[in-house]
Structures are given as structure tokens and as C-alpha cells.
Homo-oligomer: A and B are copies of this chain.
Amino acid sequence: MLDDLPLGFSAGAVACAFKKEGRDDLGIIFSDRPCTLAAMFTKNIFCAAPVQVCKQILAAGGDVRAIIANSGQANACTGEQGLNNCHHIQREAAAMLGIRANEILLISTGVIGAQFDMGKWDKNLPLLAKSPGSRDAEGFTRAIMTTDAFPKFASRDVDLSGGSVRLTVMAKGAGMICPNMATMLCVAITDALVPRVEWQRMFEQAVNNTFNRVTVDGDTSTNDTILGLANGASGVAAATSADYDLLSQALTEILAKTAYMLVQDGEGASKVLHITVEGAKNDGDAALAARSVGNSQLVKTAIYGGDANWGRIINAVGYSGVSANPDEVGLYLCGIERFRKGQPVNDDMEEELARQLRKKDVEIRIILGSGPGKSGLLASDLGHEYVTLNSDYRS
């Protein structure tokens, strides 16, 4: 059963009608034993109350037992009352679950700037506390969906020196998605036993190479959180440097798969842009150019319309702030060279390009000719559906 959670973990979900009736919008991940925590958070200065709570737990360095997640309300920009509501939820749930309040992590997603409806929380927490039992990743994932078109989860087994362990990732995210870090909630759990410092390090490395390299709309949200819980229930420890490498690689691969799903499900998106920049002065410059292209409304709408208007890509490179000599810059679109050393080439390939642009995955390769720097980015296109979804998100 590939979608089974790692050993020692169970999940549950209930419907609270935080935003809409009749669908699960409150979920829990519960571990039968203490977990080592790794985590990364949004860089938005208005980080939501639940993000502040998780940051404190991470800083304290203790073990954790549960994650409670809700959709429909972000509990962001809610000041002291928002924080007090988090602490109330932790206390109540802790008593019901028989664990400590500071062993419970909170993550939230939804409308910014509204206080929690605590009546709904108080009514549903007892049901939530009784809900864990499922070993399936999908139920929890569905409870944290907002504008997501499909639930995003993946599992894989990793053979370490001492035996096999499992990694499961469950994520939400469709809009407000931009690097630093990709706007979303994400939970990665494993039954491997991993030392805290190494777990955090492999987490940060994996996130920087995956979630921090995607963009849907350039908006970085108040609630971005990625949590990693390792509970050791498999009895298998990541003990050698070869084990670390294996687990680290598996984590990067599974997060990359999830990050792709995020972009694929970008709000109103029909295509995934695979942007690579090479020959930049340095990696930072390459990332700057890639983001400028990936966030350009004009590039995104052109790709949406299947229009090979490659000049807009060069234009976005040109205002990105990157250092480059225009006479050295080149561009391949869908594998076809259209710009070489500052001049258009292959004008006769327009029809072939139009054919290529009908595909779901679009490759954009930019050559700057200024140095060894390179970077990549996954981006969504921009269509009518994005506007429809976001012009009446709250109503």
C-alpha cells in the first residue's frame, strides 16, 4: 500500500464548516511516540499566529507528537487574539490526546485577517481528537485543501543500511505561491530515526532545491510552513553518512514531485514552465532572471495562449536586474533556439513552436553568457481561470 503512512503515524479529519459546509477542513497527524522536528517557515514579516507557535516549538528543540491543520481561515494578521486562540486550541487538544500542549504543532490556511470562530473549534476538537486511526495520506491532505484542484501527497520507501524506512509528504498550495518559500502547507513524515541537526539540515537543503524554486503568482503568503517529523517507529536509524545521503536524496525527490504538483495545480494554470538559466555571473543572478521570467504576467499569458512570443521572455530577463551583455544572450523555447547572441534565429520555426506549445510542459532555457551561474524554476502560466478564482475567492 504505497499511500500508507510511515509506521507509528495515523491521521484523521473532521468537517467544521470553517468556510463551506460538508467537507473536511480540520485534520490531524498523530504519532504514537515523540518525533524529531525539522521545519521551515515563510519569510513574510506578517507570519501567521500558527507560524509563530511552530517557530517557538522548533526553537525550544523539544519533540512533538501531533500536527493540527485547518483550512478556511489563515489566522494571520490577527494579533494577540490570534495567538491566544492558538494556545487555547493546543491546551484543549493536548488534554484530549493525553499529550503536552507544546507537543502540538498548528498550521492554517485560508482568508487572511479574520479571527478564528472558536465556537466551531471547541465543538469539533473532541471529534478531531478521536479521529486518528486512518493510515491513509489522502484524508488529511483533503482537509487542508483550499483552491487546490486535487490533493497532493506522495510516499516512498528508502532502503537504509539498517533496513527500509518510509517517507510520506502531504501538501496544499495552489495560489500565493512564490519562492522563499513556496506558499503552502507541507508535512513530511518518516518512521526513520534521524538526529535533529541532520534532519533539519537535509530538510533545508531539500526545500531550497524544490519548494523554493516554484512560482505561481509571485505572492509569498503569511502561512507557509513545512514540517518534518521523524518518529523512529521503523526501528531503523539513519546512522551512516551513506544513510544520510540516501534519505536526503529521497526527501529531495519526493519534495520535487510535490512541488511539481503545486505548480501543475497553480490556480487557473494549464501549463508548467520549466525555466532554466545558465551562464549567469553567479547562481543568485541566474535565480533573479528565472524568477523575473516566471513571474512575468506577459510571459505567463502568452504561454497560456500558446503564443510563442519569446520576446517577452527576453524582455523579462532584461528588467530582472541581472548583469548580462545583451549581445551574448540566447534563448531556447521548447528546445528550439530562437535567440542567439542578441539576435533572433530560426524565424521559420514558428509553426513547429506553436505545435510544441500545445504540450503541458514548456521548457524555457536562457543562456546569459556571463559566467558559470545557473538556476532553475518551475512556474505556472496565467489564464482566465486564475482571475475567476481570485476575484471572488472569499465570496
Contacts and interface: CB of A to CB of B under 8 A. Distances in A.
Nearest to A295: B218
A324 B297 CA distance: 28
Contacts of A392: 305, 307
A176 interface: yes
Interface in A342-358: 342-344, 347
A113 B311 contact: yes
A18 interface: no
Interface stretch (A7-15, A73-81, A150-158, A359-367): A73-81
Interface of A: 42-47, 74, 76-81, 111-115, 175-176, 178, 180, 217-222, 295-298, 301-302, 304-307, 309-312, 314-319, 322, 324, 326-327, 329, 338-339, 341-344, 347, 382-384, 386-388, 390-395
Nearest to A329: B46
Contacts of A115: 344
Contacts of A315: 44, 46, 76-77, 112, 176, 219-222
Contact of A76 (B297, B311, B338): B311
A54 to B, nearest CB: 17
A112 B312 contact: yes
23 contacts: A45-B319, A46-B329, A77-B314, A77-B339, A77-B343, A79-B342, A113-B339, A180-B319, A219-B297, A220-B318, A222-B314, A222-B315, A297-B297, A298-B390, A301-B387, A302-B390, A304-B387, A305-B395, A306-B391, A309-B393, A383-B387, A384-B387, A384-B388
B112 A311 contact: yes
A293 B392 CA distance: 18
